[in-house]
Amino acid sequence: MLVLEANAVGEARVQLKWRAVILLAGSSRRPELAVTGRSSLDLPLGDGSNVLDRLIGELSATLGEGLGTTDVRLLVGHGQGEGKQFSPEPAGRSVGWLSVERDNNPFRGTGGAVADAARGYGDNDLILVLQAAQVNFTPLCKTAGALLRRVEDDGSDVVVATNSAGVPEGAILMRVGALRGLKKEGFVDLKEQALPALAKEFRVTVLKGSGQSSVPVRTATDYLRAVALTSVVGGVRVGNALWDLDPGRSGGFKLIEEGAKVAAGARVVDSVVLSGATVESGAVVVRSVVGGGVTVRGASAYVDRLAGAEGGASQ
């Protein structure tokens, strides 16, 4: 457990405890990348890691000795069922300090899920809320440290990390006491409902970064951008800025996951071919994600496509 002495607004100095890290990986909507049959958290990146394992490494470095006393909880989406949307379950991991909790209520929303998860903590405990399906390019320890310093400086109850344009970057530090007023039943979206409601009664501030320091992994375009920015070609990193994947602009990367079959005569550019996929000789794959079980036939072209065995291909 990390402990911070901070000035609360209008109060004497109180002890605030960074009690938990909540990783949000669920959604009431079916993620676009679910067509691959894989959780977004299990998708490979250009540096040899995958989305969740990269984040686990960052958390380990950030929490340090606090790993033994800080709860780290991954909240995943509800299961597939009749009439329901779903998120594929991430693969199990032997990480003793990471707990995986399934949210079986698709109608609670991310704000409601965070409020529910915080019920067992004290009012002055702090929780760091992170989007699990994203790739950070500013070290998490730097972002988390800046959020803590803001609380220390002005007693903020909620601090939202954003990019330079003010768009939230997927990291929010929250005092548990501020969450008590959120409704205990019904849908509560974190950004569109919970934060505006909290701002009416509590000190909610924004911590702006420089540029954009993270990439979400929600869509095929998001994912390809994250792969490009974590890839190294010929000893040189492909991207050192967040790149738009404009049509006709080549980042020069390709990621062929172990277990995929790509023929010598195939051309794969700025694309990912996942395990279990086949790309035949003569086929062309450009700015696309090819999921397991998909065969790209010779002489065919996949351009700007997301293809999965369960749902065919989208364009």
Q: Determine the average pLDDT of the residues in 100-110.
A: 79
The pLDDT-based confidence of 295 (bands split at 50, 70, 90) is very high
CB atoms near residue 16 (< 10 Å): 25
Residue 275 has pLDDT above 80, yes or no: yes
* pLDDT above 90: percentage of residues in the chain: 52
Q: What is the CA radius of gyration of the chain?
A: 21
Angstrom distance (rounded) from CA 218 to CA 110: 15
3-state SS string for the chain = CEEEEEECCCCCEEEEEEEEEEEEECCCCCCHHHHHCCCHHHCECCCCCEHHHHHHHHHHHHHHHHHHCCEEEEEECCCCCCCCCCCCCCCCCCCCCEEEEECCCCCCHHHHHHHHHCCCCCCCEEEEEEECCEEECCCHHHHHHHHHHHHHHHCCCEEEEECCCCCEEEEEEEEHHHHCCCCCCCCCCHHHHHHHHHHCCCCEEEEECCCCCEEECCCHHHHHHHHHHCCEECCEECCCCCCCCCCCCCCCCEEECCCCEECCCCEEECEEECCCCEECCCCEEECCEECCCCEECCCCEEECCEEECCCEEEC
Residue 17 has pLDDT above 80, yes or no: no
Most confident of 203-217, 220-234, 256-270: 256-270
* Amino acid type, 27: S
What phi, psi does 267 have (nearest 5°)?
-120, 120
Residue 35 has pLDDT above 50, yes or no: yes
Task: List the end-to-end C-alpha distance of the chain, in Å, as a whole number.
Answer: 46
Assigned superfamily of 2-214: Spore Coat Polysaccharide Biosynthesis Protein SpsA; Chain A (3.90.550.10)
More confident residue, 91 or 98: 98
CB 216 within 8 A of CB 131: yes
**Residues in CB range of 59: below 8 A, 6 or more apart:** 21, 72, 140
Q: Domain coordinates of the chain in residue numbers?
A: 2-214, 246-314
Per-residue pLDDT tens digits for 109-154:
889 999 999 999 999 999 999 999 999 988 899 999 999 999 989 9
- What pLDDT, on the 0 to 100 scale, is given for residue 296? 96
* Amino acid type, 87: S
Most confident of 212-226, 233-247, 269-283: 269-283
Q: Among 7-11, 98-102, 267-271, name the one with the lowest average pLDDT.
A: 7-11
Q: Determine the average pLDDT of the residues in 41-65.
A: 92
Residue 260's alpha-carbon distances to 220, 291, 295, 296, in angstroms, are 18, 9, 10, 12
